[in-house]
Amino acid sequence: MSEQKVMNRWFVVVGGILIQLCLGAIYAWKAFTGKLVAEPYGFTKLQSQMPFFLGLATFAVVMAFIAGRWQKKVGPRVVALTGGIVLGLGYIVAGLAGTSFWGILLGVGLLGGAGIGLGYVCPIAALAKWFPDKKGLIMGLAVAGFGFGALIWVKLTQGFAFGPVDLTPGWSGLYGAGWTANNVFILYGIIFAVLVGLGSLVMVNPPEGWKPAGWTPPPPRDGVATGGVELAEKQMAKTYQFWILFLTFTAGATAGLMVIGVIGLFGKDSLTASGISLDKADVIAGTAMGLFFALMNGIGRIAWGSISEKTGRKNAIILMSAAQGIMMIAFYFIAGKEWGLYIGAAVIGFNFGGNFALFPAATADYFGNKNVGTNYPWVFMAYGVGGTVGPLLGGYMGDAQAWIWAFIPAGIACLVVAALATRLKPVEAPALA
């Protein structure tokens, strides 16, 4: 089957990246929180996090209960196209909602999250079949678009200035040109629907039984999962390996998503408390998220995927989780300095991005390449849990001016799951019963 004429598999990578660039808009939520807590919206800090956390939760639920099985039946193209339409519609609804909290919550949180959930699994499911020989690297490359997308969508509202370097001199972004948050929602909705639609055109699976020319599945190795064991969803859920992956991903998602949701607010509070003016603090916090976190989030997906090809998925997950735990604790203490905010955002973004390369690849390794499109959405439910706990914890502690009780617990959780991940071993035959 490897010799038959098929589409160039790298087209699927390009289409996947294009889709993920748009789906990553949810990570650009920082571009809207500052507007929403000011007039005429007047949201509380907690309210400003509600569309973000609802979008994350809806994303995970729709991916698990609808997208995984649907794409297995009809193929990834139809599901990805539907996701782009729903995502675009959600942002347009938010744009037409004016200052209504419930309208924005429905548009971005419910519809937007559903669109992301439909589209996200499609490139992952297709690419696991097209690239069984390079799972970690390709997963990282494809989902890197999700991280880089946040950089694009944030900087479009602020202008592409990165510290002293201004790539768009004389232009301070859509907000600087007088656009409102509602105007931006509508523009983004149109862009997302068009670009995801284009990317969906190449979202197809290879023919049954196809494999890359010259590649043969690796033989079993002691202590290393290679994707040779195929488990269905219910079988997977009975294994302790699933629950270790789930808990580890939950802690990593909680930490990263909390920082995404509150970095603008936390950064300004920390910087102004150390004597930096509010205007300057706002620029620094925007750069921390729009450049350092977003850029390193994308790079981390590629880097951790590549690292895992050399160290093995288990060792990469342990190292990434431990590093994240240390930095989350340190971030609270160093964020009052400009350099501290930048370093913390970069390292947390880098490690957070690694989750999205390592966990789909690990799902394929431990539970099989063939069923990753239906199995990974259940592992990814951990992201929905983290997307609920992280932003709400950050928003609540921000309103209480007790940021330390957001960052320290999140850091400790990452360290605990790093230790837990040392127990990962390949699934044994009795687990299949």
52-87 residue pLDDT tens: 889 988 998 899 889 988 998 999 999 999 999 999
In this structure, what token pair is assigned to residue 297? 């989030």
Q: What is the DSSP string of 224-246?
A: B--S-S---HHHHHTSHHHHHHH
Helix, strand or coil for residue 312? Answer: coil
Mean pLDDT of the chain: 89
Residue 408 lies in a domain: yes
Residue with tokens 């973000």: 52
Residue 120 lies in a domain: yes
Q: What is the pLDDT of residues 358-394, one digit of tens each?
A: 999 999 999 988 888 889 999 998 988 898 899 889 9
Q: What is the maximum alpha-carbon separation in the chain? A: 66
Within the chain, which residues score under 50 in pLDDT? 1-3, 430-433
pTM (2 d.p.) = 0.80
Helix, strand or coil for residue 168? Answer: coil
Residues present in the chain in total: 433
- The share of the chain scoring above pLDDT 90, in percent, equals 56
Residue 5 lies in a domain: no
In angstroms, the CA 359 to CA 378 distance is 11
Q: What is the CATH number of the domain that holds 345?
A: 1.20.1250.20
In this structure, what token pair is assigned to residue 415? 């360290």
Instruction: Map 11-51 to HEC letters.
Output: HHHHHHHHHHHHHHHHHHCHHHHHHHCCCCCCCCHHHHHHH
- For residue 91, the enclosing domain spans 10-212+227-432
Residue 2 lies in a domain: no
Q: What is the pLDDT of residues 2-28, one digit of tens each?
A: 445 788 999 999 999 999 999 988 878
In angstroms, the CA 398 to CA 318 distance is 30
In angstroms, the CA 425 to CA 428 distance is 9
Instruction: Map 179-223 to HEC letters.
Output: CCHHHHHHHHHHHHHHHHHHHHCCCCCCCCCCCCCCCCCCCCECC
CB atoms within 10 A of CB 53: 27
Residue 200 lies in a domain: yes
In this structure, what token pair is assigned to residue 85? 């339409």
- 301: CB partners within 8 A, 6+ apart: 139, 140, 141, 143, 144, 146, 147, 353, 354, 356, 357
Parallel, antiparallel, or unpaired: how do β-strands 161-162 and 165-166 relate?
Answer: antiparallel
pLDDT of residue 200: 96
Residue 122 lies in a domain: yes
Residue 4 lies in a domain: no
In angstroms, the CA 77 to CA 119 distance is 9
In angstroms, the CA 369 to CA 380 distance is 16
Q: What total number of domains does the chain contain?
A: 1
Residue 222 lies in a domain: no
Alpha carbon of residue 153 to chain centroid:
14
